[in-house]
Structure 1
Amino acid sequence: MFGKALTFTRMGLNCDMVEAEVDIKNGLPAIFMAGLLSQEVKESKERIRPAIQNSGFEFPVKKITINLSPAEISKTGTHYDLSIAMAILSATGVIDSTDGCIFFGELNLSGEIKWVRGIFPMVIEALKKGYNKIFIPYDNLSEIEFINLDKIIPVKTLNETADIIINNNYDTSHITTARSKMLTSRKVGNYSDIMEQRHLIDAFTIAASGGHHMIIVGPPGSGKTMAASRLPSIMPDLTSEEFMEINKIYSVAAENLNGSINKIRPFRNPHNSASSRAVIGGGAKILPGEVSLAHKGVLFLDEFLEFHSDSLQSLRTIIENKEVYISLRNGCAIYPADFLLVAACNPCACGFYGTKSGTCICTKNEIKKYRKKLNNPLVDRIDLQVKVDRLNYQELINGEKNVTSESIKAKVIKCYDIQQKRYRNEKFKLNSAITPDKISQYCIMEKGGNKTLEKFMEDNLLTARSCHKILKISRTIADLRENEIISVNDINKAVSLRFLDTEVV
């Protein structure tokens, strides 16, 4: 007796089809499994037998061979249970055929179908391949309710699954009623909540408009975290494609995306004590880290210099590649990691060097040692360098509020559209990504601009990389003015947003 059923396997976000084959022959009762299986997949035979029996079906007391094909692809996870069980029911004649069906789900001993991790990318792949009956655990429904549900069949038990296939009597009307409840947006703060700090808000506007990474240096209580947390409120809304891609990542990470984020971009704020695995990704289950959870959004690293050095070293490569590669014994998992980095730190160990809000108690050597950390390869790849201070009493009480996030966002979107149109034939789409060979083509300065930039470079002994960053920032500032020509004022403003280039300790 032979039966089969289809499912998928997942490595990172890449999914491959798997065929669960079952062969039942006379012989000593035993279950043999093959197909490059992880421990949790091998354990499935201990779940499937009682699940079938407790669902009212007869389990064959014979020699059973289960093969998950293709054998060369590693199989991990517990979502294979349902496909193996359906293949057994097909082999024993309980159901006629599983043609056109895909099965995902873990079985418990009573035959209930349990939630499984990372189902969304596999469901999307099944839909792409044209399958019209995709069985998923009912508990996973919230992950996919925003897509077309016509081909999705959420089930709670093995018995229910078999009944649907035997009688072809599934009704989808009851699963659409809760759909609108899932499509809610996360609320974020508004820049109108922040008093003064216009230099900082301008920097965030430029960062959001041109995709420029940013570092903020200032004492405790200067508003670094408050301002950074509002950055998603001025960024362009997620496109449908971006939202789908992010949802795949959050499904694998087992985090709820639908209830917290819809059009608003992700904002991730890991603690500085987080391990490299938590920040970058990896582990036994090959999970995405904070850099991937911040994909198409903001990664905020507060007390950035206190993060583990291996995390910061890895970030340098990730920023350039916009992907995370996690090497494994049986392959390589790849997660996207295209985020806007906002790092924040104190100006010195005590937090008050060069500020008006407190007295620095650090020695000169301690200050030099601390500031030397800022001259690392990662900071060298950050465009915007902004210095902030605490507000005094008068600024706090009588200071003017900033413009609303909505008005800033309108400018950002207009600037964003200008770039999309300008770079429509290029591989890059934002000013921050202009390649060195294209700088002269897209960063055209008015008369006097070259001399201004040349003098600044010579006075501060800047590298070519720093010069290019100033030009990219200037390009974004000009775009915010809706002007193709970069002015001297644009260059001067860009220079003011690179304070680490000029500050002497």
Structure 2
Amino acid sequence: MVATVMTTAYLGLEARSVEVQVQIGGGLPAFIVVGLPDKAVAESRERVRAALSSLGLSLPPKRITVNLSPADLPKEGSHYDLPIALALLSAMGLIDMEAMSGYVAVGELALDGRIAPSPGVLLAAMHALEQDSGLICPAVQGSEAAWAGDLEVLAAPDLLSLLNHFKGTNRLLPPQAGEVIEASTGPDLAQVKGQETARRALEIAAAGGHNLLMSGPPGAGKSLLASCMPGILPPLEAEEALEVSMVASVAGTLEQGQLSRIRPFRAPHHSASMAALVGGGLRVKPGEVSLAHLGVLFLDELPEFQRAVLDSLRQPIEAGTVSIARANAHVTFPARFQLVAAMNPCKCGYLGDPARACSRAPRCAADYQAKISGPLLDRIDLHVDVEPVLASDLVRPSQAENSQTVRARVIAARARQQTRRKQTGARTNAELNTEMLERIATPDKAGQALLAQAADAMRLTARSYMRVLRVARTLADLAGQEGVNRIHIAEALSYRQQVPVA
């Protein structure tokens, strides 16, 4: 007789059904796991053995074979512990096999029988809902699984409580969905002194989801401006919050089942590897570009990143996804992020200041800025120079608008983009394709003449040309205007100037 329990395998944000089959047969005593398991799955034998021992149970002195079907699908992670243990208990006659047929089980087992958390529970819950099944998961992740919708969730703290539930002696209560985090706790734009041009560029970037590059000397406020971005972005919609949380669940960073309506803000160090930034590794995990999905990826000291690492961003910026190819799997993660980058104009940072610039200026600026490839710079919509803050700006009280005021304008601009979503299929203007731009962002005659003249003078590529139109469309949305005019084209072109190379 073969006992079976359903579980899942994760390939990116796709959950695939895996059937855990356990057979106890004759032969020399052995405990074998087959079905393309990785090291963590193969080690589940010892964890399952110890967990059953903590309940006063011992494995029968027979040949125990565990098959993870389909056998050609790679099995990774410790979440197979619980389904293997439940299938084994069913084969031993301690749990009714029929009772287990309507559940998907995930969870890691501790040696004392506790059910420990494992990544991907929200994804498993969504999969169980699609299969019209219930979910068995760790108790600490029950609030996470409850966000999946109308499905039965058995969130058990340990293996004993799960056994008692199926025997009917002590029923498990359904978990409640976790809290929703609404408010951002980042810096306020009112703290930024001066920098009107940079503040304007930040607002445009937030309103249209555009990529932004700030260049300026040390201490000018580039990092502070970037850290203010979450405070002016609109909250995530319910569907978006669930999408972001699924990525966090697979990465194992979703804490206490809390969903957040605050857009992600990721700021990796410039020593980050390619796998850390775009995803990958021995066990494929989402990288920073996916953890920043529908939010902001802030890269400070941009030229200090390895050039190959930066160039790996080019495809995700265009496609909104990142595909990681391996010999045994092809995994795709969402990566619709907004790039905000900051850099010094040269290695010493004081290019243009005759009193503080190094002796190699301006040659050092050319060498420093050449670390960033032209194709990557071409994908950045807004380029802005951040000038040093004057002493007079620091001394007098700030009269700048706060984040709440700017956020209201950003939300209004995004609302106009949402009204066009059925027509365009794009969440923001930064996602508009060429066909949609021709329909909703064609400028007036004066704007067309200016754009044609600038395209020749600035030698705009086709990509740059379209990005100018996207920014102009956002400027029109901020102004509450239906059409794109010459003034919008002119301002959009002013941000197309790349970081100057001396």
Aligning the two structures, in what range does the TM-score lie when normalised by the shorter sequence? Answer: over 0.9
Corresponding residue for 1:51?
Answer: 51
CA contact (8 A) 1:185 1:260 kept: no
- The alpha carbon displacement at 1:446 in A equals 3.2
Matches of residues 13-412 of structure 1 in structure 2 within 5 Å?
13-97=13-97, 98-132=100-134, 134-141=135-142, 143-144=144-145, 146=147, 151-167=152-168, 169-172=170-173, 175-176=175-176, 179-180=178-179, 183=181, 185-256=183-254, 262-354=260-352, 358-359=356-357, 361-374=359-372, 376-398=374-396, 400-412=398-410
Per-residue CA distance 1:117-157 (angstroms, 9 max, x = gap)? 2222112211222213x221123345446555862222122
TM-score of the pair, normalised by structure 2: 0.93
Secondary structure at 2:375's aligned position in 1? coil
Distance in 2 between residues matched to 1:157 and 1:210, nearest whole Å? 48
Residue identity opposite 1:121 in structure 2: L
Q: Judging changes above 3 Å, is the alpha-carbon distance between structure 1 residues 305 and 85 closer, same or farther for their aligned structure 2 residues? A: same
CA contact (8 A) 1:326 1:333 kept: yes
Residue identity opposite 2:124 in structure 1: M
TM-score of the pair, normalised by structure 1: 0.92
Distance in 2 between residues matched to 1:171 and 1:223, nearest whole Å? 53
CA contact (8 A) 2:210 2:338 kept: yes
Distance in 2 between residues matched to 1:447 and 1:70, nearest whole Å? 61
- The alpha carbon displacement at 1:263 in A equals 1.1
Corresponding residue for 1:456?
Answer: 454
Q: Judging changes above 3 Å, is the alpha-carbon distance between structure 1 residues 221 and 241 closer, same or farther for their aligned structure 2 residues? A: same
Q: Which runs of 5+ in 2 are unaligned?
A: none
Distance in 2 between residues matched to 1:159 and 1:375, nearest whole Å? 58
User: Which range is displaced more, 110-119 or 225-234?
Assistant: 110-119
Q: Judging changes above 3 Å, is the alpha-carbon distance between structure 1 residues 317 and 60 closer, same or farther for their aligned structure 2 residues? A: same
Q: Judging changes above 3 Å, is the alpha-carbon distance between structure 1 residues 209 and 94 closer, same or farther for their aligned structure 2 residues? A: same
Per-residue CA distance 1:369-399 (angstroms, 9 max, x = gap)? 2233445211111110111112111011126
- The alpha carbon displacement at 1:165 in A equals 0.9
Per-residue CA distance 1:62-100 (angstroms, 9 max, x = gap)? 122211112121111111111111112111211222121
Distance in 1 between residues matched to 2:489 and 2:455, nearest whole Å? 12
Q: Which runs of 5+ in 1 are unaligned?
A: none
Distance in 2 between residues matched to 1:464 and 1:108, nearest whole Å? 57
Secondary structure at 2:16's aligned position in 1? strand
- The alpha carbon displacement at 1:491 in A equals 2.0
Distance in 2 between residues matched to 1:231 and 1:377, nearest whole Å? 25
How many residues were matched structurally? 500
Q: Judging changes above 3 Å, is the alpha-carbon distance between structure 1 residues 260 and 500 closer, same or farther for their aligned structure 2 residues? A: farther
Residue identity opposite 1:276 in structure 2: M
Residue identity opposite 1:201 in structure 2: R
Q: Judging changes above 3 Å, is the alpha-carbon distance between structure 1 residues 8 and 211 closer, same or farther for their aligned structure 2 residues? A: same
CA contact (8 A) 1:219 1:355 kept: no
Distance in 1 between residues matched to 2:30 and 2:117, nearest whole Å? 28
Residue identity opposite 1:102 in structure 2: V
Distance in 2 between residues matched to 1:388 and 1:196, nearest whole Å? 10
Distance in 1 between residues matched to 2:140 and 2:320, nearest whole Å? 32
- The alpha carbon displacement at 1:59 in A equals 2.2
Matches of residues 408-419 of structure 1 in structure 2 within 5 Å?
408-419=406-417
State the Cα RMSD in Å: 2.4
Q: Judging changes above 3 Å, is the alpha-carbon distance between structure 1 residues 427 and 186 closer, same or farther for their aligned structure 2 residues? A: closer
User: Which range is displaced more, 263-272 or 33-42?
Assistant: 33-42
- The alpha carbon displacement at 1:327 in A equals 1.5
Q: Judging changes above 3 Å, is the alpha-carbon distance between structure 1 residues 445 and 115 closer, same or farther for their aligned structure 2 residues? A: closer
CA contact (8 A) 2:307 2:372 kept: no
Distance in 2 between residues matched to 1:166 and 1:259, nearest whole Å? 28
Distance in 1 between residues matched to 2:356 and 2:484, nearest whole Å? 38
Q: Judging changes above 3 Å, is the alpha-carbon distance between structure 1 residues 227 and 257 closer, same or farther for their aligned structure 2 residues? A: farther
Distance in 2 between residues matched to 1:257 and 1:87, nearest whole Å? 29
Secondary structure at 1:378's aligned position in 2? helix
